[in-house]
Each structure stands twice: as C-alpha cells, then as structure tokens.
Amino acid sequence: MPLLSVNAQNREIKLDYEDRPATAGWWKDNNQVKFSLDERKKNQYALSSEVCLHVRWDSIPAGRTNVWFTDLKIDSLANPVMDDVRRAFGSKLWLSFWCNAGNGDTLWVQPLLLTRGHKGKWGAKKRMPVSSSEWVFIKFNLAELEYAKWGTGPEMPNLTSDEIRCFEVGLLNGNSSSKGFIDARFDDVMISNYEPFARKEKKKK
C-alpha cells in the first residue's frame, strides 16, 4: 500500500517499495517485461533506501518503437474512503520519482491520469527521456501539462475537481533500441500537493 503523509499543509502519497509489494499481477505489454525488487545496497539511490523497483524488458523486437509497455500506479485515491484526502489535494498536483536507465536503452516516462474505474484516461503530451545509469529525480506539475484524451470524458482532465483519482507513470521505449533491452529502476514514486525537491541524502559514489 502507498504511504500517505499528511500535515497541516502538505500532503503526499508515496510508493517507496520498502513493503515489497507483490508484482505478479501488474500490467505489462508482453511477457518479456519483468518486475523485481532490487535489494542490493549499491543499486539504491539513497543511503536509507533498502529496496527499489527493477523493470526489465529483454529482447525488444525490431520495429517496436515508442511502445507503452507498462506503468507504475498510484490508485489509492480511487477508494471512496479517500474522498476527503483527494479533495484536500485539489488541483495542486505534482508527480515525482527517482529513476535510472541502468545499462539498457533510453527509457521515456510519461504522466497518466485516470478517473475512478479508469474509464476516463489522459496521457500527458510531455514525455521525458532517461538514458543514464545514474539516478535522476524527475517531477511534473500535472496542472501545467497538456494531455491527449485516451478514454471517455472531456478533452482535458479537470484537476480543479476531484474526478481524477488515479495517477500513473507510463513507461515507453524510444525510437531506437541499439542495446535491445530496457533496464530501469524506480523509487519514491509520489504525488504531492507541493513542489518536491531532490533529497539531500542522495547517495554519493
């Protein structure tokens, strides 16, 4: 389950993978995409981190470019018991996370927004490449992005209401695949009602 942190002003819901979630039922485009929980200390982004998520796509077929091959979900706000929490977030919504591309090809990350039940779905037109084996901190101000409509509902999602209940990081491969595989790691996938910044505790080599 995601970790919910609330104080008088700031709210956040974070997936840090320390509780070692079962990944077997997570959606993926094909059976070559694998999830695992990496517990090796050298592969963590911070000294305090014990587990990160490893996403691997072996043997990308030739011609498969810009494929949305899986996503990382924060669906906890879809639960009706979270109605008051969702309203408290309002339209100030940031999506952030740490990630790296390991030894694989360039990975593209894209914010996705969904209504409860996933009938309404929008993909952000902005995508960001991740091409380094070094950990990088990525954040999106969801209220400032333009979106493409993928499901039912209006052309643009309405973040001023509480209709958007699910938030995802979509993962895509790039225009080319010289190495033929994706080898990505993620941690601290989070939505917040404030602008997050990289933690000063980032591990140094």
pLDDT, tens digit, for every residue of 140-196? 999 999 999 998 888 999 999 999 999 999 999 999 999 999 999 999 999 999 999
**Measured distance CA(156)–CA(85) in Å, rounded:** 23
44: Cβ contacts below 8 Å, ≥ 6 apart: 38, 50, 51, 52, 187, 203
User: pLDDT value at position 204?
Assistant: 43
Can you give the pLDDT at residue 153? 84
pLDDT along the chain (205 residues), means of 10: 59 90 94 97 94 97 94 93 91 96 97 95 97 97 96 90 95 94 97 87 48
pLDDT on residue 1: 47
Tokens for 52, please give them: 């990160």
pTM score above 0.75: yes
